[in-house]
Chains A and B, each alone.
Chain A
């Protein structure tokens, strides 16, 4: 019963710890960058300029946008069905798809049947294949200037630490490419600045290594104690010599001498001994642990 209580306590602790994270997860598909008025910017395959919507695959796997719905009308989630069967809608991990908001759906898969209006807030939603589950949404504020884009400073990072959407007017217009251009690994750069000697990382890492292995130590210490006590109980119930040994700290030789004396007394064999009984411990001189074959072939010099 005590063991079960301990196990329940352990699982409850783990469950509590796992529930500590309150961070809001970024969606798998993110409406990453939007241009409402395109005057001198990116040109489509027909040589025309229109507003555009960039969608970002925020996962580590290739995903298909085909069959999903893009809309700018909350009451009409299925406004633009993204055609199925186009290989170009299969978006690789952390890559982008660009849709032209030109109201010309017959120009191709990536041309929407609606346009964006700079005079009012533009709500844009991406719905799943059922047209019910909202995958992502964004509101582009009214009054966007020409050739200006609204989106997220870092690709796919929609929510900030407080869990609110962090859309901003972007400094650079980057259709179908990364919103933030990373020249170097930011982790490495920050370590170079904050921890040039490496001491901080060393201490942190060693603490984690020790913490992990200490957790294992405690678990196996506990399970070992449980296993030992269970074995002792079983042996004690068996009523053999091993049972006595498991409860006492006497050596095998001492127990053998006591057992011999009890046997002699019970059997009434000898009152006065004519000889001295010597008990030799039986030793196996060879074991896999002592064999030279398991050891080094040559001694280090």
Chain B
């Protein structure tokens, strides 16, 4: 009889440790969201390199367990494996490493050939500050509003880096929001591109960019780094690594380093970053009204960034001669979702003129957006951290 009681007690204790016993509705909601991410990544191929790690991370992070038992399995439990990996997000050293890889894989030729496209990348940063204003009106503190606003930069690493400093408690919501909307750029941007442009504007053919010399390509990361970081030193980790990666690529003498940065290194960090950000969305800390607000403002910030980019091109066109006019369909590319938003310019452009290839032109503001959002992040850190 005693043996039977002990067995029952053991099973009861074991049961209290299982996920079934500790599950709350929030966990199931989050697991559902994780499954949607994985579904979107596999069937729709929306940013699969990010959504698969994040989606699976959400599943892992929301397996319910007995938190009081100090099992050291949760991402917020000090010393757990997930917690150690998560330090790269919390301390903000994954994003600069991602930027190193981005720099090593980005060709800035389109920007160097037609430098006025840089300004479109600046205009699109209105998305960040528009969202900042909205977040303030919704009752967020300035530092929280800054972290939410950075979603409008459409740059996951920048958003994570900035939020980890300004409002670490919003990190999960901001990161998931930024990556979700980046994946949904093909859905968010086209309606506004059509709405804000005329038929005549959509078929503007831009001059083929000139060929850029190797010297110019080498000068770009050096001068870019010096000019931007002297202005905004708080953006140094992101901008320094971005331009360093680009110099590795363009110098022509560090091919092995460039290949590592844009290959194994960025892949490793992407896996760790995506997975731990996903796992950080534990229902107990993530499912809050605040997170819903963050998602809503994040969507608006993308819309604002898209619209201001397009409107700024139209404004620029007022001062440009006919042969130098810019197709406003590349204005959406000012957000730094590289290269997705540039691809959208290309696709929408082709709809209206099958011989009008906008991709190479759109890559200019697209990479300028990366620089612009990193500068904007530096400014926010300078003012709010």
Contacts and interface: CB of A to CB of B under 8 A. Distances in A.
Interface of A: 14, 185, 187-188, 191-192, 195-199, 201-202, 204-206, 208-217, 219-221, 223-224, 227-228, 231, 287, 289-290, 294-300
B289 interface: no
A214 B344 CA distance: 26
B277 interface: no
Contacts of A188: 141-143, 384
17 contacts: A197-B136, A201-B142, A201-B383, A204-B383, A205-B379, A209-B122, A209-B375, A213-B118, A215-B227, A216-B115, A216-B118, A220-B115, A220-B118, A289-B360, A295-B343, A295-B359, A300-B189
A162 B357 CA distance: 59
A299 B118 contact: no
A213 B125 CA distance: 12
Interface in B314-361: 343-344, 346-347, 350-351, 357, 359-360
Contacts of B372: 209, 213
A68 B369 CA distance: 50
B129 A206 contact: yes
A126 to B, nearest CB: 29
A217 B343 contact: no
Contacts of A214: 118-119, 122
B216 A223 contact: yes
B346 A300 contact: no
B344 A300 contact: yes
Contacts of B125: 205-206, 209
Nearest to A211: B231
Interface string B214-230: 01100110011001101
B204 interface: no
A216 B384 contact: no
A212 B232 contact: yes
Nearest to A191: B142
A298 B118 contact: no
Contact of A198 (B121, B132, B213, B375): B132
Given A188-B384, A202-B129, A205-B129, A213 B343 contact: no
Interface bracket on B: 35 or more
Contact of A206 (B126, B230, B343, B384): B126
Which 8 A-B residue pairings sit nearest by Cβ, starting from the closest? A202-B129, A220-B115, A198-B133, A213-B122, A289-B357, A191-B142, A198-B136, A300-B190
A288 B354 CA distance: 15
A290 B384 CA distance: 44
Contacts of B220: 220
Contact of A192 (B129, B142, B232, B346): B142
Contacts of B190: 300
A294 B384 CA distance: 40
Q: Which of A198, A215, A299 has the largest number of chain B CB atoms within 10 A?
A: A198
A184 to B, nearest CB: 9
Given A191-B142, A210-B119, A227 B213 contact: yes
Given A221-B115, A224-B216, A185 B376 contact: no
Contacts of B213: 227, 231
Contact of B215 (A201, A206, A219, A227): A227
Contact of B375 (A208, A290, A297, A299): A208
Given A210-B122, A213-B371, 19 more contacts: A196-B136, A198-B142, A202-B129, A205-B125, A206-B125, A212-B231, A213-B122, A213-B368, A216-B115, A217-B116, A217-B119, A219-B227, A220-B216, A220-B223, A227-B212, A289-B360, A295-B350, A297-B45, A300-B344
